[in-house]
Structure 1
Amino acid sequence: MQLIEHVQYLAFNPGVTPKGGGLPGLPVLKNVMGSLNLYGIIAAVGALVISALTWAWGSHSGGHQAEANGKKGAAVAAGCALLLGAANGIVAFASNLGTQVH
């Protein structure tokens, strides 16, 4: 009976926690992810500029379709920039929330 209780405890808590330095190349991977995040933010800025220009052109020329697409593009670009900028905080929040599950 003691063995079954021990196996049940391991099924609920295997004792695995994230640990830095366990595998080689972790600093390189962090550098690559940071660079990808930067490229994503730069792309979001470009998308926001293009969407704002489309919005302004559509508003000035009376093109309601172009104006609506410009507004939609600006909202999507701003949302992407928000998510990219908050990526570390969102992942840290979810990870901390996950450690509280028992």
Structure 2
Amino acid sequence: MGVFPDFDGLGGIGDLKQVIGALLTVVLIVAVLMIVVSAICWALGASHGNPSLASKGRIGVLVGIGAAALAGAAVAWMNWLITLGSQL
């Protein structure tokens, strides 16, 4: 008696790749907008002598950069998992 994996049981990998690509696009657009708005707040806070606004802007820029990096890493990881799963 042989037991073999069902390779047709995981249909829709192409749809999953499209959904992941769309989510990456949305996350990157939001991250770039967050970086732009936070950089403007950081510049205004620094130029007008408002350390609270400057620090919140700086934190926003760092969070936006981190979110963009994590989104890119998550997509690369998911593509690696899809490739690994198709090789089983």
Name the TM-score class by shorter chain: 0.7 to 0.9
Aligned pair 1:37/2:34, yes or no?
Answer: no
Distance in 1, Cα, partners of 2:31 & 2:61: 9
Which runs of structure 2 are paired with 1:1-102 in the superposition (5 Å)?
21-91=8-78, 92=80
* Alignment size in residue pairs: 78
Which has more radius of gyration? 1
RMSD: 2.4
TM norm structure 1: 0.64
Q: Where is the helix percentage greater, Structure 1 or Structure 2?
A: 2
Between the two structures, name the one with larger relative contact order (CA 8 Å, sep ≥ 6): 2
Task: Tell me, in whole angstroms, the C-alpha distance in 1 between the residues paired with 2:33 and 2:46.
Answer: 20
Runs of 4 or more off by more than 6 Å in structure 1?
none
Structure 2 residue ranges without an equivalent (≥5): none
Specify every segment of 5 or more residues in structure 1 that has no aligned partner in the other structure, as ranges: 1-14, 97-102
Q: Find the aligned partners of 1:90 and 1:62 in 2 and give their Cα distance.
A: 43
Q: Is the 8 A contact 2:20 2:75 kept in 1?
A: no
2: distance between equivalents of 1:63 and 1:80?
26
